[in-house]
Amino acid sequence: MVNSLPEIFFVLLAVSVLSALFLLYPRVPLSYVRLHVGITLLPPLAALMALFTTKETIIYGPWWLDSLSWLLVSFVLIIGFIVQRYSVRYFLGDRSYRKYFALLTITTGADSVVWLCNDLRLLLICWGTTLLGLILLIRLKKEWSVARNAAKQTGQLFAISWLILFGAVIWVTQSTGHWQLTHVLAKSSLTQLELWEKTCISLMLILAVVIPAAQWPFHRWLLNTVVAPTPVSAVMHAGLVNAGGMILTRFSPLLSGNMSQIILLILSSVSVMIGTGIMLVQVDYKRQLVGSTIAQMGFMFIQCALGAFLAAIIHAVLHGLFKSTLFLQSGSALDHHKKQTSRANQPRSLLWTITGGILGLLVVIGLWLSSSGENYHFISALTLGWSVSLAWTQLVAFGNGHIARIAGFSLVAVAAIVYNFVQDAFYGVLQHSIPKGIQPPEPAAILLLIILLAGSAAGVWLARHRSSAAYTVIYLWLVRLGEPQNNLIESHPEYLTKSFFKGGHLQ
Protein backbone atom coordinates (compact mmCIF):
# COMPACT_ATOMS: atom_id res chain seq x y z
CA MET A 1 0.00 0.00 0.00
CA VAL A 2 2.80 2.42 0.93
CA ASN A 3 4.65 1.86 -2.35
CA SER A 4 1.47 2.47 -4.34
CA LEU A 5 0.63 5.80 -2.68
CA PRO A 6 2.48 7.91 -5.30
CA GLU A 7 0.53 6.21 -8.12
CA ILE A 8 -2.73 6.69 -6.22
CA PHE A 9 -1.94 10.37 -5.67
CA PHE A 10 -1.14 11.07 -9.33
CA VAL A 11 -4.27 9.23 -10.47
CA LEU A 12 -6.43 11.23 -8.08
CA LEU A 13 -4.75 14.48 -9.12
CA ALA A 14 -5.40 13.65 -12.78
CA VAL A 15 -9.04 12.86 -11.96
CA SER A 16 -9.47 16.24 -10.24
CA VAL A 17 -8.00 18.06 -13.25
CA LEU A 18 -10.23 16.11 -15.66
CA SER A 19 -13.19 16.95 -13.44
CA ALA A 20 -12.29 20.64 -13.70
CA LEU A 21 -12.16 20.41 -17.50
CA PHE A 22 -15.46 18.53 -17.53
CA LEU A 23 -17.01 21.38 -15.54
CA LEU A 24 -16.24 23.77 -18.41
CA TYR A 25 -18.73 21.94 -20.65
CA PRO A 26 -21.83 24.19 -20.72
CA ARG A 27 -24.32 21.31 -20.50
CA VAL A 28 -22.88 20.10 -17.21
CA PRO A 29 -25.24 21.36 -14.44
CA LEU A 30 -23.81 23.87 -11.98
CA SER A 31 -24.72 21.52 -9.14
CA TYR A 32 -21.78 19.38 -10.32
CA VAL A 33 -19.48 21.96 -8.70
CA ARG A 34 -20.12 20.47 -5.26
CA LEU A 35 -19.13 17.02 -6.50
CA HIS A 36 -16.04 18.49 -8.15
CA VAL A 37 -14.99 20.17 -4.89
CA GLY A 38 -15.36 16.82 -3.15
CA ILE A 39 -13.11 15.23 -5.77
CA THR A 40 -10.41 17.87 -5.13
CA LEU A 41 -10.21 16.67 -1.52
CA LEU A 42 -8.98 13.21 -2.57
CA PRO A 43 -5.42 14.15 -3.76
CA PRO A 44 -4.47 15.97 -0.52
CA LEU A 45 -5.76 13.02 1.53
CA ALA A 46 -3.49 10.70 -0.46
CA ALA A 47 -0.60 13.16 0.01
CA LEU A 48 -1.18 13.24 3.77
CA MET A 49 -1.10 9.43 3.89
CA ALA A 50 2.19 9.51 1.97
CA LEU A 51 3.55 12.15 4.36
CA PHE A 52 2.85 10.05 7.45
CA THR A 53 4.22 6.85 5.90
CA THR A 54 7.33 8.25 4.18
CA LYS A 55 10.46 7.39 6.15
CA GLU A 56 13.17 8.07 3.58
CA THR A 57 13.79 9.83 0.29
CA ILE A 58 12.57 7.97 -2.80
CA ILE A 59 13.56 8.85 -6.36
CA TYR A 60 10.70 7.55 -8.49
CA GLY A 61 11.26 8.27 -12.18
CA PRO A 62 11.21 12.09 -12.56
CA TRP A 63 9.87 12.50 -9.01
CA TRP A 64 11.61 13.35 -5.75
CA LEU A 65 9.46 11.91 -2.97
CA ASP A 66 10.31 12.74 0.63
CA SER A 67 8.56 14.21 3.65
CA LEU A 68 9.21 17.79 2.50
CA SER A 69 7.63 17.09 -0.89
CA TRP A 70 4.51 15.53 0.57
CA LEU A 71 4.16 18.26 3.20
CA LEU A 72 4.20 21.02 0.57
CA VAL A 73 1.83 19.08 -1.70
CA SER A 74 -0.61 18.55 1.18
CA PHE A 75 -0.38 22.20 2.17
CA VAL A 76 -1.08 23.60 -1.31
CA LEU A 77 -3.92 21.20 -2.14
CA ILE A 78 -5.65 21.53 1.24
CA ILE A 79 -5.62 25.33 0.90
CA GLY A 80 -6.99 24.91 -2.63
CA PHE A 81 -9.79 22.64 -1.40
CA ILE A 82 -10.77 25.01 1.43
CA VAL A 83 -10.91 27.99 -0.92
CA GLN A 84 -12.94 26.07 -3.51
CA ARG A 85 -15.38 24.93 -0.85
CA TYR A 86 -15.70 28.52 0.33
CA SER A 87 -16.26 29.72 -3.25
CA VAL A 88 -19.22 27.44 -4.05
CA ARG A 89 -21.65 30.07 -2.80
CA TYR A 90 -19.30 33.06 -2.97
CA PHE A 91 -19.09 32.94 -6.78
CA LEU A 92 -22.60 31.64 -7.42
CA GLY A 93 -24.16 33.71 -10.21
CA ASP A 94 -20.83 34.98 -11.54
CA ARG A 95 -20.39 34.55 -15.28
CA SER A 96 -16.92 33.08 -14.66
CA TYR A 97 -18.22 30.47 -12.21
CA ARG A 98 -17.12 27.42 -14.19
CA LYS A 99 -13.89 28.99 -15.39
CA TYR A 100 -12.89 29.96 -11.85
CA PHE A 101 -13.07 26.42 -10.45
CA ALA A 102 -11.27 24.98 -13.47
CA LEU A 103 -8.44 27.53 -13.28
CA LEU A 104 -8.06 27.18 -9.52
CA THR A 105 -7.90 23.38 -9.72
CA ILE A 106 -5.30 23.41 -12.50
CA THR A 107 -3.22 26.14 -10.83
CA THR A 108 -3.04 24.45 -7.43
CA GLY A 109 -2.51 21.06 -9.09
CA ALA A 110 0.46 22.35 -11.11
CA ASP A 111 1.87 24.10 -8.03
CA SER A 112 1.69 20.87 -6.02
CA VAL A 113 3.53 18.91 -8.71
CA VAL A 114 6.39 21.46 -8.62
CA TRP A 115 7.43 20.20 -5.18
CA LEU A 116 7.56 16.58 -6.39
CA CYS A 117 9.74 17.27 -9.44
CA ASN A 118 13.25 15.90 -9.62
CA ASP A 119 13.53 16.64 -13.35
CA LEU A 120 14.27 20.35 -13.76
CA ARG A 121 12.55 20.48 -17.15
CA LEU A 122 9.33 19.25 -15.61
CA LEU A 123 9.78 21.70 -12.73
CA LEU A 124 10.04 24.62 -15.17
CA ILE A 125 6.89 23.54 -17.00
CA CYS A 126 4.84 23.10 -13.82
CA TRP A 127 6.06 26.35 -12.27
CA GLY A 128 5.32 28.22 -15.51
CA THR A 129 1.82 26.70 -15.54
CA THR A 130 1.31 27.84 -11.94
CA LEU A 131 2.32 31.42 -12.74
CA LEU A 132 0.15 31.48 -15.86
CA GLY A 133 -2.83 30.14 -13.92
CA LEU A 134 -2.38 32.85 -11.29
CA ILE A 135 -2.32 35.54 -13.98
CA LEU A 136 -5.55 34.20 -15.48
CA LEU A 137 -7.18 34.13 -12.04
CA ILE A 138 -6.25 37.78 -11.48
CA ARG A 139 -7.74 38.51 -14.91
CA LEU A 140 -10.88 36.50 -14.13
CA LYS A 141 -13.13 39.54 -14.56
CA LYS A 142 -11.59 40.44 -17.91
CA GLU A 143 -14.42 42.88 -18.69
CA TRP A 144 -12.95 45.13 -15.98
CA SER A 145 -10.06 47.20 -17.31
CA VAL A 146 -8.51 47.43 -13.84
CA ALA A 147 -8.28 43.63 -13.58
CA ARG A 148 -6.78 43.42 -17.08
CA ASN A 149 -4.15 46.03 -16.23
CA ALA A 150 -3.24 44.30 -12.96
CA ALA A 151 -2.92 40.94 -14.75
CA LYS A 152 -0.80 42.51 -17.50
CA GLN A 153 1.68 44.05 -15.06
CA THR A 154 1.82 40.85 -13.02
CA GLY A 155 2.30 38.79 -16.17
CA GLN A 156 5.24 40.90 -17.30
CA LEU A 157 7.06 40.45 -13.99
CA PHE A 158 6.21 36.75 -13.82
CA ALA A 159 7.57 36.26 -17.35
CA ILE A 160 10.85 37.90 -16.33
CA SER A 161 10.99 35.76 -13.20
CA TRP A 162 10.37 32.53 -15.12
CA LEU A 163 12.96 33.41 -17.79
CA ILE A 164 15.56 34.09 -15.10
CA LEU A 165 14.79 30.74 -13.47
CA PHE A 166 15.00 29.12 -16.90
CA GLY A 167 18.43 30.69 -17.43
CA ALA A 168 19.66 29.50 -14.03
CA VAL A 169 18.46 25.95 -14.73
CA ILE A 170 20.10 25.86 -18.17
CA TRP A 171 23.35 27.19 -16.72
CA VAL A 172 23.54 24.69 -13.86
CA THR A 173 22.50 21.72 -16.00
CA GLN A 174 25.03 22.51 -18.70
CA SER A 175 27.78 22.92 -16.11
CA THR A 176 26.98 19.72 -14.19
CA GLY A 177 25.70 17.60 -17.07
CA HIS A 178 22.51 16.59 -15.22
CA TRP A 179 18.80 17.45 -15.41
CA GLN A 180 17.92 15.60 -12.22
CA LEU A 181 17.93 17.94 -9.23
CA THR A 182 19.34 15.34 -6.85
CA HIS A 183 22.32 14.86 -9.19
CA VAL A 184 22.78 18.60 -9.68
CA LEU A 185 22.94 19.17 -5.92
CA ALA A 186 25.32 16.28 -5.26
CA LYS A 187 28.75 17.28 -3.96
CA SER A 188 30.46 15.77 -7.00
CA SER A 189 28.40 18.04 -9.28
CA LEU A 190 28.75 21.19 -7.20
CA THR A 191 32.52 20.86 -7.20
CA GLN A 192 32.40 21.26 -10.99
CA LEU A 193 31.12 24.81 -10.54
CA GLU A 194 33.57 27.66 -10.12
CA LEU A 195 32.91 30.00 -7.21
CA TRP A 196 31.80 32.81 -9.53
CA GLU A 197 29.47 30.43 -11.39
CA LYS A 198 27.89 29.23 -8.17
CA THR A 199 27.42 32.82 -7.01
CA CYS A 200 25.86 33.94 -10.31
CA ILE A 201 23.47 30.98 -10.42
CA SER A 202 22.50 31.64 -6.80
CA LEU A 203 21.81 35.31 -7.58
CA MET A 204 19.66 34.31 -10.55
CA LEU A 205 17.67 31.93 -8.33
CA ILE A 206 17.20 34.64 -5.74
CA LEU A 207 16.03 37.14 -8.33
CA ALA A 208 13.66 34.55 -9.82
CA VAL A 209 11.94 33.94 -6.46
CA VAL A 210 11.87 37.43 -4.92
CA ILE A 211 9.72 38.69 -7.82
CA PRO A 212 6.73 36.33 -7.25
CA ALA A 213 7.30 36.73 -3.50
CA ALA A 214 6.67 40.50 -3.92
CA GLN A 215 9.91 41.56 -2.29
CA TRP A 216 11.35 45.04 -2.63
CA PRO A 217 11.74 46.49 -5.26
CA PHE A 218 9.23 44.15 -6.98
CA HIS A 219 6.45 44.46 -4.37
CA ARG A 220 4.14 46.64 -6.47
CA TRP A 221 2.50 43.77 -8.38
CA LEU A 222 1.08 42.23 -5.21
CA LEU A 223 -0.44 45.54 -4.11
CA ASN A 224 -2.06 45.81 -7.55
CA THR A 225 -3.71 42.40 -7.27
CA VAL A 226 -6.09 43.47 -4.50
CA VAL A 227 -8.58 43.89 -7.37
CA ALA A 228 -8.69 40.10 -7.69
CA PRO A 229 -11.59 38.27 -5.99
CA THR A 230 -10.92 37.61 -2.31
CA PRO A 231 -10.71 33.78 -2.64
CA VAL A 232 -8.06 34.25 -5.36
CA SER A 233 -6.10 36.46 -2.96
CA ALA A 234 -6.40 33.77 -0.29
CA VAL A 235 -4.85 31.14 -2.57
CA MET A 236 -2.26 33.58 -3.89
CA HIS A 237 -1.00 34.62 -0.46
CA ALA A 238 -1.24 31.16 1.06
CA GLY A 239 0.14 28.80 -1.55
CA LEU A 240 1.96 30.75 -4.27
CA VAL A 241 3.60 33.91 -2.93
CA ASN A 242 5.43 31.93 -0.26
CA ALA A 243 6.79 29.46 -2.82
CA GLY A 244 10.06 31.40 -2.95
CA GLY A 245 11.29 30.03 0.36
CA MET A 246 10.33 26.53 -0.73
CA ILE A 247 12.31 26.83 -3.98
CA LEU A 248 15.35 28.20 -2.18
CA THR A 249 15.11 25.30 0.29
CA ARG A 250 15.20 22.78 -2.56
CA PHE A 251 18.24 24.54 -4.08
CA SER A 252 19.84 25.27 -0.70
CA PRO A 253 23.22 23.58 -1.42
CA LEU A 254 23.75 26.12 -4.23
CA LEU A 255 23.09 29.08 -1.93
CA SER A 256 25.31 28.06 0.92
CA GLY A 257 28.54 29.92 1.53
CA ASN A 258 28.58 32.70 -1.09
CA MET A 259 27.83 36.39 -1.51
CA SER A 260 24.23 35.74 -2.58
CA GLN A 261 23.19 35.14 1.03
CA ILE A 262 24.21 38.67 2.02
CA ILE A 263 22.35 40.21 -0.92
CA LEU A 264 19.24 38.19 -0.03
CA LEU A 265 19.61 39.35 3.57
CA ILE A 266 19.65 43.02 2.53
CA LEU A 267 16.68 42.73 0.14
CA SER A 268 14.57 40.84 2.64
CA SER A 269 15.40 43.19 5.53
CA VAL A 270 14.29 46.20 3.49
CA SER A 271 11.13 44.30 2.50
CA VAL A 272 10.31 43.64 6.15
CA MET A 273 10.50 47.37 6.92
CA ILE A 274 8.51 48.47 3.88
CA GLY A 275 5.85 45.78 4.25
CA THR A 276 5.35 46.56 7.93
CA GLY A 277 5.07 50.27 7.17
CA ILE A 278 2.48 49.72 4.45
CA MET A 279 0.47 47.48 6.77
CA LEU A 280 0.41 50.13 9.50
CA VAL A 281 -0.62 53.13 7.39
CA GLN A 282 -3.15 51.58 5.01
CA VAL A 283 -6.87 51.75 5.79
CA ASP A 284 -7.89 49.26 3.09
CA TYR A 285 -8.05 45.86 4.80
CA LYS A 286 -6.79 43.84 1.82
CA ARG A 287 -3.85 46.24 1.39
CA GLN A 288 -3.05 45.80 5.07
CA LEU A 289 -2.91 42.04 4.48
CA VAL A 290 -0.71 42.56 1.41
CA GLY A 291 1.72 44.69 3.43
CA SER A 292 1.79 41.99 6.10
CA THR A 293 2.55 39.34 3.47
CA ILE A 294 5.44 41.39 2.03
CA ALA A 295 6.94 41.70 5.52
CA GLN A 296 6.37 38.02 6.39
CA MET A 297 7.92 36.84 3.14
CA GLY A 298 10.87 39.10 3.88
CA PHE A 299 11.33 37.42 7.25
CA MET A 300 11.08 34.02 5.56
CA PHE A 301 13.90 35.00 3.18
CA ILE A 302 15.94 36.25 6.17
CA GLN A 303 15.66 32.74 7.56
CA CYS A 304 16.84 31.33 4.21
CA ALA A 305 19.75 33.80 4.08
CA LEU A 306 20.81 32.70 7.57
CA GLY A 307 20.75 29.04 6.52
CA ALA A 308 17.66 28.19 8.61
CA PHE A 309 15.73 26.50 5.79
CA LEU A 310 13.74 24.27 8.13
CA ALA A 311 12.48 27.32 10.01
CA ALA A 312 11.66 29.00 6.68
CA ILE A 313 9.45 26.08 5.63
CA ILE A 314 7.64 26.08 8.97
CA HIS A 315 7.14 29.83 8.64
CA ALA A 316 5.84 29.53 5.06
CA VAL A 317 3.27 26.86 5.91
CA LEU A 318 1.97 28.48 9.09
CA HIS A 319 1.84 31.91 7.48
CA GLY A 320 -0.06 30.47 4.52
CA LEU A 321 -2.70 28.91 6.74
CA PHE A 322 -3.01 32.07 8.83
CA LYS A 323 -3.17 34.49 5.88
CA SER A 324 -5.70 32.45 3.91
CA THR A 325 -7.95 32.48 6.98
CA LEU A 326 -7.67 36.28 7.24
CA PHE A 327 -8.59 36.76 3.59
CA LEU A 328 -11.59 34.46 3.78
CA GLN A 329 -12.74 36.35 6.89
CA SER A 330 -12.20 39.78 5.32
CA GLY A 331 -15.96 40.32 5.14
CA SER A 332 -15.93 40.94 8.91
CA ALA A 333 -13.10 43.48 8.70
CA LEU A 334 -15.31 46.44 9.62
CA ASP A 335 -16.54 44.79 12.82
CA HIS A 336 -12.96 43.79 13.67
CA HIS A 337 -11.82 47.40 13.17
CA LYS A 338 -14.49 48.65 15.59
CA LYS A 339 -13.33 46.17 18.25
CA GLN A 340 -9.71 47.21 17.75
CA THR A 341 -10.62 50.89 18.06
CA SER A 342 -12.54 50.34 21.27
CA ARG A 343 -9.66 48.32 22.73
CA ALA A 344 -7.15 51.03 21.79
CA ASN A 345 -9.12 53.51 23.90
CA GLN A 346 -8.94 51.32 26.99
CA PRO A 347 -6.39 52.25 29.65
CA ARG A 348 -3.60 49.83 30.29
CA SER A 349 -1.65 49.17 33.46
CA LEU A 350 1.96 50.42 33.43
CA LEU A 351 2.98 47.65 35.82
CA TRP A 352 1.53 44.94 33.57
CA THR A 353 3.17 46.56 30.52
CA ILE A 354 6.60 46.55 32.22
CA THR A 355 5.98 42.94 33.23
CA GLY A 356 5.39 42.06 29.57
CA GLY A 357 8.66 43.69 28.58
CA ILE A 358 10.57 41.79 31.26
CA LEU A 359 8.90 38.53 30.20
CA GLY A 360 9.90 39.12 26.58
CA LEU A 361 13.50 39.80 27.67
CA LEU A 362 13.57 36.58 29.70
CA VAL A 363 12.31 34.65 26.65
CA VAL A 364 15.14 36.11 24.56
CA ILE A 365 17.78 35.21 27.14
CA GLY A 366 16.38 31.73 27.75
CA LEU A 367 16.13 30.83 24.06
CA TRP A 368 19.58 32.20 23.30
CA LEU A 369 21.25 30.32 26.18
CA SER A 370 19.49 27.07 25.23
CA SER A 371 20.45 27.35 21.52
CA SER A 372 23.62 26.25 19.78
CA GLY A 373 24.77 29.86 19.40
CA GLU A 374 24.05 30.26 15.68
CA ASN A 375 23.18 33.66 14.24
CA TYR A 376 19.68 32.61 13.29
CA HIS A 377 18.83 31.48 16.81
CA PHE A 378 19.65 34.93 18.18
CA ILE A 379 17.44 36.65 15.57
CA SER A 380 14.71 34.10 16.25
CA ALA A 381 14.99 34.64 20.01
CA LEU A 382 14.60 38.41 19.54
CA THR A 383 11.56 37.93 17.32
CA LEU A 384 9.87 35.52 19.72
CA GLY A 385 10.66 37.70 22.71
CA TRP A 386 9.12 40.73 21.01
CA SER A 387 6.07 38.65 20.03
CA VAL A 388 5.58 37.47 23.61
CA SER A 389 5.87 41.03 24.91
CA LEU A 390 3.38 42.30 22.32
CA ALA A 391 0.91 39.48 23.01
CA TRP A 392 1.18 40.12 26.76
CA THR A 393 0.50 43.84 26.24
CA GLN A 394 -2.55 43.22 24.05
CA LEU A 395 -4.07 40.38 26.07
CA VAL A 396 -3.06 41.17 29.63
CA ALA A 397 -2.03 44.83 29.99
CA PHE A 398 -5.17 45.93 28.14
CA GLY A 399 -7.32 43.57 30.20
CA ASN A 400 -10.23 45.17 32.02
CA GLY A 401 -10.23 43.61 35.49
CA HIS A 402 -8.73 40.50 37.02
CA ILE A 403 -10.86 38.05 35.03
CA ALA A 404 -9.85 39.59 31.71
CA ARG A 405 -6.17 39.51 32.69
CA ILE A 406 -6.42 35.89 33.82
CA ALA A 407 -8.05 35.01 30.48
CA GLY A 408 -5.33 36.90 28.59
CA PHE A 409 -2.60 35.16 30.58
CA SER A 410 -4.22 31.80 29.84
CA LEU A 411 -4.27 32.58 26.10
CA VAL A 412 -0.58 33.50 26.14
CA ALA A 413 0.26 30.27 27.97
CA VAL A 414 -1.83 28.14 25.59
CA ALA A 415 -0.25 29.87 22.58
CA ALA A 416 3.24 29.09 23.93
CA ILE A 417 2.33 25.42 24.43
CA VAL A 418 0.80 25.14 20.95
CA TYR A 419 3.84 26.86 19.42
CA ASN A 420 6.24 24.36 21.02
CA PHE A 421 4.03 21.43 20.00
CA VAL A 422 3.76 22.58 16.37
CA GLN A 423 7.47 23.33 16.12
CA ASP A 424 8.43 19.92 17.51
CA ALA A 425 5.98 18.21 15.12
CA PHE A 426 7.47 19.96 12.08
CA TYR A 427 11.02 19.24 13.19
CA GLY A 428 10.16 15.58 13.67
CA VAL A 429 8.74 15.32 10.15
CA LEU A 430 11.25 17.45 8.22
CA GLN A 431 14.59 17.20 10.00
CA HIS A 432 15.90 14.47 7.66
CA SER A 433 14.66 15.97 4.38
CA ILE A 434 16.05 19.51 4.64
CA PRO A 435 19.81 20.03 4.56
CA LYS A 436 21.28 22.43 7.08
CA GLY A 437 22.48 25.58 5.37
CA ILE A 438 25.75 27.40 5.93
CA GLN A 439 25.48 30.64 7.88
CA PRO A 440 26.61 33.89 6.24
CA PRO A 441 29.67 35.69 7.64
CA GLU A 442 29.31 37.24 11.10
CA PRO A 443 29.27 40.85 9.78
CA ALA A 444 26.16 40.02 7.71
CA ALA A 445 24.25 38.90 10.79
CA ILE A 446 25.40 42.01 12.66
CA LEU A 447 24.22 44.17 9.74
CA LEU A 448 20.81 42.47 9.84
CA LEU A 449 20.54 43.05 13.59
CA ILE A 450 21.44 46.73 13.16
CA ILE A 451 18.83 47.18 10.41
CA LEU A 452 16.07 45.52 12.43
CA LEU A 453 16.91 47.35 15.67
CA ALA A 454 17.26 50.68 13.86
CA GLY A 455 13.93 50.16 12.13
CA SER A 456 12.22 49.23 15.39
CA ALA A 457 13.75 52.20 17.24
CA ALA A 458 12.72 54.55 14.43
CA GLY A 459 9.18 53.17 14.53
CA VAL A 460 8.90 53.70 18.30
CA TRP A 461 10.31 57.24 18.04
CA LEU A 462 7.94 58.18 15.23
CA ALA A 463 4.96 56.73 17.10
CA ARG A 464 5.76 59.03 20.03
CA HIS A 465 6.44 62.11 17.86
CA ARG A 466 3.50 62.09 15.48
CA SER A 467 3.56 65.87 15.16
CA SER A 468 7.12 65.88 13.79
CA ALA A 469 7.97 66.60 10.16
CA ALA A 470 9.82 63.28 9.87
CA TYR A 471 6.68 61.39 10.89
CA THR A 472 4.62 63.23 8.29
CA VAL A 473 7.11 62.63 5.49
CA ILE A 474 7.53 58.92 6.22
CA TYR A 475 3.81 58.41 6.76
CA LEU A 476 2.87 60.03 3.44
CA TRP A 477 5.66 58.15 1.65
CA LEU A 478 4.36 54.82 2.95
CA VAL A 479 0.79 55.75 2.05
CA ARG A 480 1.86 56.63 -1.47
CA LEU A 481 3.91 53.44 -1.70
CA GLY A 482 0.86 51.35 -0.88
CA GLU A 483 -1.62 53.22 -3.07
CA PRO A 484 -2.72 51.82 -6.46
CA GLN A 485 -1.57 53.30 -9.74
CA ASN A 486 -3.94 55.46 -11.77
CA ASN A 487 -4.80 52.73 -14.29
CA LEU A 488 -5.71 50.36 -11.46
CA ILE A 489 -8.58 52.33 -9.93
CA GLU A 490 -12.05 53.31 -11.10
CA SER A 491 -14.60 55.34 -9.20
CA HIS A 492 -17.23 53.02 -10.64
CA PRO A 493 -16.36 49.93 -12.71
CA GLU A 494 -17.59 50.71 -16.23
CA TYR A 495 -18.02 47.04 -17.10
CA LEU A 496 -20.86 46.80 -14.57
CA THR A 497 -22.77 49.54 -16.39
CA LYS A 498 -22.13 47.88 -19.75
CA SER A 499 -23.35 44.58 -18.37
CA PHE A 500 -26.77 45.97 -17.44
CA PHE A 501 -27.27 48.61 -20.06
CA LYS A 502 -26.73 48.42 -23.77
CA GLY A 503 -27.85 51.16 -26.08
CA GLY A 504 -29.69 52.86 -23.23
CA HIS A 505 -31.90 49.83 -22.52
CA LEU A 506 -31.75 47.53 -19.51
CA GLN A 507 -30.56 44.02 -20.47
Tens-digit pLDDT profile for residues 377-398: 656 666 666 566 665 565 555 5
Domain-embedded: residue 69: yes
Q: What is the total count of domains within the chain?
A: 3
| Pair (112, 227) in one structural domain | no
pLDDT at 14: 92
- Range 209-233 average pLDDT: 85
- The SS3 of residue 180 is strand
Which pLDDT score is estimated for 415? 64
In a domain, 451, yes or no: yes
337 in any annotated domain? no
Peptide bond connecting 217 to the previous residue in cis, omega within 30 degrees of 0: yes
Pick the range with the lowest mean pLDDT from 256-265, 346-355, 433-442. Answer: 346-355
Among 265, 299, 329, give the residue marking a domain's end.
329
Q: State the average pLDDT over residues 201-221.
A: 88
Q: For residue 166, name the pLDDT band (cuts at 50, 70, 90).
A: very high
- Would you say residue 336 lies in a domain? no
Over residues 228-249, mean pLDDT: 82
Give 50-91 pLDDT, tens digit per residue: 888 877 788 888 888 888 888 889 989 998 899 899 888 888
Question: DSSP assignment, residue 433?
Answer: T
Q: Would 410 be classed as within a structural domain?
A: yes
Last residue of a domain, one of 329, 359, 386: 329
Q: Residue 167 sits in which domain range?
A: 132-329
**Banded model confidence at residue 28, pLDDT cuts 50, 70, 90:** confident
* Predicted model pTM: 0.82
* Same domain for 173 and 220: yes
pLDDT in tens, 105-155: 999 999 999 989 888 999 999 999 999 999 999 888 877 778 888 888 889
Q: Is residue 334 part of a domain?
A: no
Same domain, 278 and 157: yes
Spatial CB neighbours of 98, under 8 Å, sequence gap ≥ 6 = 23, 24, 28, 30, 33
Among 98-102, 174-178, 294-298, 318-322, the least confident range? 318-322
Q: What's the pLDDT score for residue 237?
A: 73
Give the Cα separation of 389 and 381 in Å (integer). Answer: 12
pLDDT band at 504 (very low <50, low <70, confident <90, very high): very low
> Could you tell me if 174 and 249 lie in one domain?
yes
452 — pLDDT class (breaks 50, 70, 90): low
Whether residue 325 is found in the same domain as residue 380: no
The answer to whether residues 158 and 166 touch, using CB atoms and an 8 Å cutoff, is no
**Domain end among 329, 355, 388:** 329
DSSP 76-145: HHHHHHHHHHHHHHHTTT-TTHHHHHHHHHHHHHHHHHHTTB-BHHHHHHHHHHHHHHHHHHHTSSTTSH
Say whether both 6 and 47 belong to one domain.
yes
Is 16 inside any structural domain? yes
Residue 7 lies in a domain: yes
324 and 238 in one domain?
Answer: yes
Q: Are residues 323 and 458 in the same domain?
A: no
Residue 405 scores a pLDDT above 80: no
CB 276 within 8 A of CB 291: yes
Task: Write down the pLDDT at residue 184.
Answer: 85
314 and 191 within one domain: yes
**Cβ within 8 Å of residue 308, ≥6 positions away:** 374, 376, 380, 437
pLDDT, mean of residues 247-254: 85
**Whether residues 42 and 154 fall in one domain:** no
